[in-house]
Chains A and B, each alone.
Chain A
Amino acid sequence: MSANSDLTAAAIVKEFGADRSRLLDIVEQVQRRFGHIGDDAIQAIAMELGIHRVEIEDMISFYAFFNREPRGRFRIRLSKTPISFMKGAKEVALAFEKALGLSLGETSADGAFTLEWTSDIGMADQEPAALVNATVLTALTPGDVPHIVAALRQRGFDSDPSANPPYARPEATLPKAVIKSSIVKLGPLLSGLSGRTDGIGAALALSPDKVIEEMTKSKLRGRGGAGFPTGMKWRFTRKAVGADHYVVCNADEGEPGTFKDRVLLSEFPDLVFDGMTIAGYALGARHGLLYLRGEYAYMWDVLQEVLKNRRGLGLLGENIGGREGFDFDIRIQLGAGAYICGEESALLESLEGKRGAPRDRPPFPTERGYLRQPTAIDNVETFACAARIMEKGAGWFAGFGTAQSTGTKLMSVSGDCAHPGVYEVPFGITLNELLDMVGGSDAQYVQVSGPSGQSIAPKDFGRRIAYEDMSTGGSMMVFGPGRDVLEIALQFADFFVAESCGWCTPCRVGTTLLKQGMEKIVAGRATLADIAEMESLGNTVMRMSRCGLGQTAPNPILTTMRNFPELYEAKLAAAPFTPRVTLHDALREAVAVQGRESATGEI
């Protein structure tokens, strides 16, 4: 099989037109065929593309979902988040270890299974969740695990994975391979949508400039959390000079605790594609790209089918809606496991087939984005809003929310609450109101916007979800009484260690140092001086990092320090100084060699 991996790899490169910018797809196809990307394949890809192997290794080694070494045919990835831990993921992990005879991180000797942790997979309302290859399992209990493993063993061993057609998922019928609809409460954006809206038709009745004017009038702002006015972004992109203009939909929904884009793409894909097509018309773009996070690969077939139908209906392709010269089509780019690719400039790098390292700005993507051409990158929800604005009018949209935050916001709610799921709420709603709605009124604190956001204590539950107060992408994790705040802050610190791209020093090194400092605090060994040092380090990382990841990575620590100082105080060591490494740990090797403890014990 691997004997001809070079020939197959070469053929795959040709399938993608020997286009360097499609390297992610090329590598993904090779891995699909052979389970990993071996040296022969790398050499062949390098030769066919006329680039160096070191450039290919640079890209591959960046993404969590690409393997240079053979891994299990069934790759089981357990979602590792504070929420999944609260719901029993550790017990599920133990059950998998037992059923497979493997430790986390290992591959079985027969090459059938790999078991490992992965960052949040977008199922926070139905944790513990896991990925088996591209298939999502949800609401797992330790009792499910033997059945899942038995089912995998039964169907796995006789099939040659290389014979599988692309995107076939033999594990799709596993126990617990069910994703429940997460919608709890709909508002004006998503209700009353029987069939397809006519946003595109409404847009075509206007000039592109008028469409952008309508966006501006609606005061729509980016739903990813940054809140940049969409009308302004589209205007900048339209005005920017370039051979081509691009519309990019950011569906790399990686912020732990958020899953509303998953809901939009699974239940309202046409609305999102309507929005992208409207943007294509407004910007004079012929190409749209949807960057779908690798964890959502299970949606691939369905979304391709939707696109195919749209082409059949004349909603994509040439002369859309009968408008001579309005040509627009959408390609889906699958990611490969990297939180940082939700950052728009890292996303662009990834779209171009490179490591997802953020770019320095200026130039901004509106000037030079995908392939250095003017590009408007918007969140999935933003496109859904844009489609509704065209259909119903800017005035209708601006009638909801607050003066500076018009419309509604989709909130992904998870954790200690009676009804986790997606809520469409008007901007301006207070956390208190939201907590009452979701059945989480006794919350000890709420993590708004995921680890990169803020830990909000009850004294601030009167704050509002709005750009002028608490701007958010929509992740809301509820932590009830008795949850260990510092332990959760440590888990978030660990998340940033796993997801820092490594490009810039403050984030690459700082995230690791922050995690180590937090470990010392949680262990009860930190002194007041250590905590002061941590705070200072956190502030440096925040001020000096290159992109939003590093600039927000210290947030869970800094905001819990501010809001729960008494918890940190309670953990303080009584000594003025404690060493980072205990004497016991320092002597561990010697103790092992000697076979006895040091005679004097802990000095």
Chain B
Amino acid sequence: MDAETFRFTVDGINVEATDGQSVMEACDAAGIYIPRLCYHPDLKTSGTCRVCTCKINGRNSAACVTPAAHGLVIENDTPQLTGDRRAIIEMLFVEGNHPCPYCVASGDCELQALGYRLGMVAPQQPYQSPVRKIDATHPDIYLDHERCILCARCIDASQMEDGKTVFGFEGRGIAMRLNVDAKGGLGDTQMAAIDRAASVCPVACIVVKRDSYRVPNGSRRFDKSPIGSDIEARRTGRKS
């Protein structure tokens, strides 16, 4: 066992890791929370959001795609990184339309939760206020493109977990959008409400109809505890 494990430090704290783990995975296991948005433990890392960027051996790299290695010196919780991460969250808030007070995902939204956790007040940047059509062609699911943050989770989940390839991207730059595998919209794809792709959306872009208020506002995941506290709880339980 000992031969396969090695150590690196995050903000001066020793973290044990095994070969093949990413920095993110090793830190999660050790109870150190690195803020992240597009990352999902069950899915392929796409590295789209860049929120988990840390200073790794002096260079900024995304923790989700950086392999853990012996002796890495990592800065995670620093004022500059927190500021940069907050700026990214702000960018996503102004890029799409994210009206938290009346959004179905409120309290369960990872974007909103990160805004709180990183201390976002009101975005300093101008709202882009895009007008994007809702795709309501599917009987059980609707797609609200104005909420999409282009994390790529659904693309991978549909491909790898559901074996379907319902989603893909379209366009480039600021015009990039989530696209579906049918001209007629989601209703013409193989998508089903029980698909993994329907449940991995971090915001309220992919929404299962007639299911949104099963848990009322005020009692949802991030209404109870800030995002990342589940990971940090692992650390408090440890003796160091």
Q: Are A52 and B181 touching (Cβ within 8 A)?
A: yes
Q: Are B92 and A505 touching (Cβ within 8 A)?
A: yes
Q: Are B49 and A504 touching (Cβ within 8 A)?
A: yes
B interface footprint on A185-211 (CB within 8 Å = 1, 0 otherwise)? 000000000000000000000000000
A interface footprint on B80-119 (CB within 8 Å = 1, 0 otherwise)? 1001100110011011000000000000000000000000
The verdict on A509 contacting chain B, using a C-beta distance below 8 Å, is: yes
Number of interface residues of B (CB under 8 A): 43
Instruction: State the CA gap A510–B50 with chains docked (Å).
Output: 12
Among candidates B45, B84, B149, B172, residue contacting A540 with C-beta atoms closer than 8 Å: B84
Q: Are B174 and A544 touching (Cβ within 8 A)?
A: no
Q: Which chain B residues (108-167) contact chain A, with CB distance < 8 Å?
A: 124-126, 128, 149-150, 165-167
Q: What residues on B are CB-neighbors of A537 within 8 Å?
A: 87, 125
Q: Are A505 and B49 touching (Cβ within 8 A)?
A: yes
Q: Are B95 and A504 touching (Cβ within 8 A)?
A: no
Q: Are A502 and B173 touching (Cβ within 8 A)?
A: yes
Q: What residues on B are CB-neighbors of A360 within 8 Å?
A: 45, 47, 62, 65
Instruction: State the CA gap A508–B124 with chains docked (Å).
Output: 17
The verdict on B76 contacting chain A, using a C-beta distance below 8 Å, is: no
Q: What residues on B are CB-neighbors of A505 within 8 Å?
A: 48-51, 88, 91-92, 95, 149-150
Given A55-B165, A513-B125, A544 and B50 contact (CB-CB distance below 8 Å): yes
Q: Are A501 and B172 touching (Cβ within 8 A)?
A: yes
Query: In the complex, what's the smallest C-beta–C-beta distance from B8 to chain A, in angstroms?
Result: 16
The verdict on B175 contacting chain A, using a C-beta distance below 8 Å, is: yes
B interface footprint on A445-486 (CB within 8 Å = 1, 0 otherwise)? 000000000000000000000000000000000000000000
Q: What residues on B are CB-neighbors of A61 within 8 Å?
A: 170-172, 179
Q: Are B172 and A62 touching (Cβ within 8 A)?
A: yes
The verdict on B176 contacting chain A, using a C-beta distance below 8 Å, is: yes
Q: Are B50 and A58 touching (Cβ within 8 A)?
A: no
B interface footprint on A506-543 (CB within 8 Å = 1, 0 otherwise)? 10111111001000000000000000010011001001
Q: Are B50 and A500 touching (Cβ within 8 A)?
A: no
Given A509-B95, A546-B50, A54 and B180 contact (CB-CB distance below 8 Å): yes
Q: What residues on B are CB-neighbors of A536 within 8 Å?
A: 87
Q: Are A502 and B150 touching (Cβ within 8 A)?
A: yes
Q: Are A508 and B49 touching (Cβ within 8 A)?
A: no
The verdict on A329 contacting chain B, using a C-beta distance below 8 Å, is: no
The verdict on A126 contacting chain B, using a C-beta distance below 8 Å, is: no
Q: Which chain A residues (143-193) contact chain B, with CB distance < 8 Å?
A: none
Q: Are A58 and B179 touching (Cβ within 8 A)?
A: yes
Number of interface residues of A (CB under 8 A): 40
Q: What residues on B are CB-neighbors of A544 within 8 Å?
A: 50, 53, 60, 84, 87-88
The verdict on A442 contacting chain B, using a C-beta distance below 8 Å, is: no
12 contacts between A and B (CB under 8 A): A57-B168, A501-B173, A502-B171, A504-B48, A509-B91, A509-B95, A510-B91, A512-B128, A537-B87, A543-B53, A544-B53, A544-B88
Q: Which residues of B contact A (CB under 8 A)?
A: 45, 47-51, 53, 60, 62, 65, 67, 80, 83-84, 87-88, 91-92, 94-95, 124-126, 128, 149-150, 165-176, 179-183
Q: A338-B172, A508-B95 are in contact. List 20 more A-B contacts (CB 8 A).
A: A52-B165, A52-B168, A53-B183, A61-B171, A62-B172, A360-B45, A501-B172, A503-B176, A505-B50, A505-B91, A505-B149, A506-B50, A506-B91, A508-B174, A509-B94, A509-B174, A536-B87, A540-B83, A546-B47, A580-B126
